[in-house]
Amino acid sequence: MPTPSFAARYLGRTVLAIGAHPDDIELGIGGTVALLAAAGIRVVTAIVSVPAEYELRSAEAKESAAILGSEPRILLEGGCRRIEDLKNYQLVGLLDALVREAKPAAVLTHGPTDFHHDHVTVYHATVAAQRVMQFDLFSYVPTMTRPVPVPFEPNAYVDISSTMDKKLEAIAAHKSQFYSRGLAFEFYRDLARVNGRMVGVDYAEALAVDKIVFA
């Protein structure tokens, strides 16, 4: 008998994926987003800000969302913005509003050990947004285009064997990052293989459970 699926848990509901910037969601949980979307679940992929090249990167994010099957959103839309230009209470306010509107059954966001200041800020603001309503909360692996070893202790795994390629395709849609700047993202296939072996599947994305509630 197969392992119960992530999709089964959220069928008929909304899952909210949050990334500080374009490509974070794809690097961290692109396979999971594609898996949920393929099962007919509404997945909102919300990018907090686009720090540079707004038009180009927004277009890439839109293309990537089309590949994954998610509903893209840019919270600080309309032009280049930096998360640090917001006060924390403003960022919490933005996420509160998003949660009120999307009513997510689960939220997937950055984790507290990430080395990027904006990522950690977004994590803490998402934790605070739990005041608005109850939702399952998961953190994903530190995301980076150039490797910096930081600790991450996953305890949840999603089998993305069927969407591994789609994840890489969605990452590749961010051409301005991975082609112009010559960055390799094969790392994410290697990481998914190691995580997959840990739980007996070909490829897996690893998550850390912040809170999960069972009725």
| Interface contacts to a copy of itself, rule CB under 8 A | 1-6, 8-10, 12-13, 51, 82, 84-85, 87-89, 92, 105, 115-118, 124, 127-128, 130-132, 134, 144-151, 153-159, 187, 190-191, 193-194, 197-200, 204, 209-215
Q: What is the DSSP string of 93-132?
A: HHHHHHHHHH--SEEEEE-TT-SSHHHHHHHHHHHHGGGT
Nearer to a copy of itself, 59 or 172 (CB): 172
User: Given the complex with a copy of itself, which of 59 and 144 has the nearer CB atom?
Assistant: 144
Dist CA 58 CA 24 (whole Å): 13
* Strand, coil or helix: 56: helix
Q: Which is nearer to a copy of itself, 63 or 82 (CB)?
A: 82
Length of the chain: 215
Contact 121/162 with Cβ under 8 angstroms? no
CB of 64 to a copy of itself, least distance (A): 22
Q: C-beta of 132: minimal distance to a copy of itself in Å?
A: 8
Least CB distance to a copy of itself at residue 74 (A): 19
Q: How far is the CB of 63 from a copy of itself (least distance, A)?
A: 25
CA–CA distance, 171 with 179 (Å, rounded to integer)? 11
Residue among 68 and 204 whose Cβ is closer to a copy of itself: 204
CB atoms within 10 A of CB 8: 10
Smallest CA-to-CA distance from 204 within 152, 149, 162, 153 is with 162
| Residue 200, CA distances (Å) to 49, 67, 193, 206 in order | 37, 27, 10, 13
Task: Report whether 49 contacts 151 (CB < 8 A).
Answer: no
Closest CB to a copy of itself among residues 62, 181: 181
The CA distance from 78 to 58, in Å, is 10
Q: Which is nearer to a copy of itself, 68 or 141 (CB)?
A: 141
